[in-house]
């Protein structure tokens, strides 16, 4: 068998590009994202699959109006999507998110409101949650852009991940919100919840021509 000489490379530029120039350091706690999804606390009593109106069992209810939102997750054919992972987040009753990037000094944090949670749909694709009705907030002072009250949803199951926003019916800021108005007019009603006797109802369609508008924020 012929022998093969191995050359020693002294100027390996590819390796230099892949190797950090400085020693790696751990991310300090203050720089970590504290707005990470948390699993639902299934031991909580009550009528809801997810209760965001308080941060723990026997803790005080957060400030503001407690609302209940129910609905279904559906595929393109209108069939229910069971066992879909649904993440929900919204700002508090003062218009502030419990997030390190939201440092609006005019809107206080609520120590009793975290505003982020996760649930799984049942076999019929249904979800049910309680949260605090979010307030409108000033997104950009230079153009006087106020975001209307809304709740963010992220759905994983039955296809690609869908991130969307639920708007409240009849709010005058809906028709002034660039994020909402970028949706074609015929699709905007699909992003607005319906009022029911027990709260709000909002179905989410993951795919197809009737898909719920995708969030562009």
- pLDDT at residue 123 tops 70: yes
If we measure between CA atoms, which residue out of 185, 198, 207, 197 comes closest to residue 75?
Answer: 207
In which band, very low, low, confident or very high, does the pLDDT at 104 lie, cut at 50, 70 and 90? confident
* Residue at 150 is within a domain: yes
Q: Which of 128, 147, 180, 211 is catalytic?
A: 147
Would you call 137 a catalytic residue per the annotation? yes
Would you call 127 a catalytic residue per the annotation? no
Question: What pLDDT does 100 receive?
Answer: 83
Q: Which of 150, 167, 180, 211 is catalytic?
A: 150
Would you call 147 a catalytic residue per the annotation? yes
Question: What pLDDT does 53 receive?
Answer: 94
Q: Which of 97, 114, 127, 167 is catalytic?
A: 97
Using one digit for the tens of pLDDT, what is the confidence trace for 61-72? Answer: 999 999 999 999
In which band, very low, low, confident or very high, does the pLDDT at 57 lie, cut at 50, 70 and 90? confident
* Residue at 25 is within a domain: no
Q: Which of 96, 152, 180, 211 is catalytic?
A: 152
How far apart (Å, rounded) are the C-alpha atoms in residues 115 and 35?
A: 9
- pLDDT at residue 146 tops 60: yes
Question: What pLDDT does 101 receive?
Answer: 85
Q: In sequence order, which ranges of 153-209 are alpha helices (DSSP H)?
A: 178-181
Q: Which domain holds residue 83?
A: 40-205
Q: Which of 72, 127, 130, 137 is catalytic?
A: 137
Question: What pLDDT does 109 receive?
Answer: 94
If we measure between CA atoms, which residue out of 63, 86, 88, 64 comes closest to residue 74?
Answer: 86
How far apart (Å, rounded) are the C-alpha atoms in residues 163 and 191?
A: 12
* Residue at 33 is within a domain: no
Q: Rg of the Cα trace of the chain?
A: 23
The number of residues in the chain equals 217
Question: What pLDDT does 43 receive?
Answer: 43
Structure pTM? 0.77
Using one digit for the tens of pLDDT, what is the confidence trace for 168-211? Answer: 999 999 999 999 999 999 999 999 999 998 899 999 999 887 78
143: helix, strand or coil: helix
What CATH number should be reported for the domain holding residue 194? 2.60.130.10
In the chain, how many domains are there? 1
Which is more confidently placed, 134 or 23? 134
107: helix, strand or coil: coil
Question: What pLDDT does 19 receive?
Answer: 60
Would you call 180 a catalytic residue per the annotation? no
Backbone angles phi, psi at 30, to 5 degrees: -65, -20
Provide the sign of the torsion angle of the four alpha carbons 200, 58, 125, 84, taken in this order: positive
Using one digit for the tens of pLDDT, what is the confidence trace for 5-47? Answer: 545 545 555 555 556 677 777 766 665 555 444 444 444 333 3
- pLDDT at residue 217 tops 60: no
What is the DSSP secondary structure assignment for residue 39, as one 8-state letter? -
State how far the alpha carbon of 6 is from the alpha carbons of 2, 3, 9, 11, 14, in Å: 13, 10, 9, 15, 18
% of the chain surpassing 90 pLDDT: 56
If we measure between CA atoms, which residue out of 98, 94, 74 comes closest to residue 157?
Answer: 74
């Amino acid at each position: 068998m012929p022998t093969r000489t191995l050359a020693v490379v002294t100027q390996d530029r590819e390796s230099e590009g892949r190797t950090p120039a400085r020693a790696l350091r751990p991310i300090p706690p203050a720089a970590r994202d504290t707005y990470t999804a948390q699993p639902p606390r299934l031991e909580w009593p009550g009528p809801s699959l997810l209760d965001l109106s308080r941060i723990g069992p026997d803790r005080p209810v957060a400030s503001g109006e407690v609302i209940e939102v129910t609905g279904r997750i559906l595929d393109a054919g209108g069939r229910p999507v069971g066992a879909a992972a649904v993440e929900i987040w919204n700002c508090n009753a003062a218009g502030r998110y419990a997030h390190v990037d939201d440092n609006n000094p005019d809107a206080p944090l609520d120590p009793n409101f975290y505003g982020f949670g996760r649930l799984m749909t049942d076999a019929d694709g249904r979800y049910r949650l309680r949260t605090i009705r979010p307030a409108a907030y000033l997104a950009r002072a230079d153009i006087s852009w106020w975001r209307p009250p809304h709740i963010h949803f992220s759905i994983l199951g039955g296809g690609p991940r869908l991130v969307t926003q639920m708007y409240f019916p009849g709010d005058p800021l809906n028709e002034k919100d660039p994020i909402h108005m970028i949706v074609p007019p015929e699709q905007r009603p699909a992003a607005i919840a319906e009022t029911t006797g027990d709260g709000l109802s909002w179905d989410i369609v993951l795919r197809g021509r009737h898909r719920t508008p995708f969030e562009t924020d």
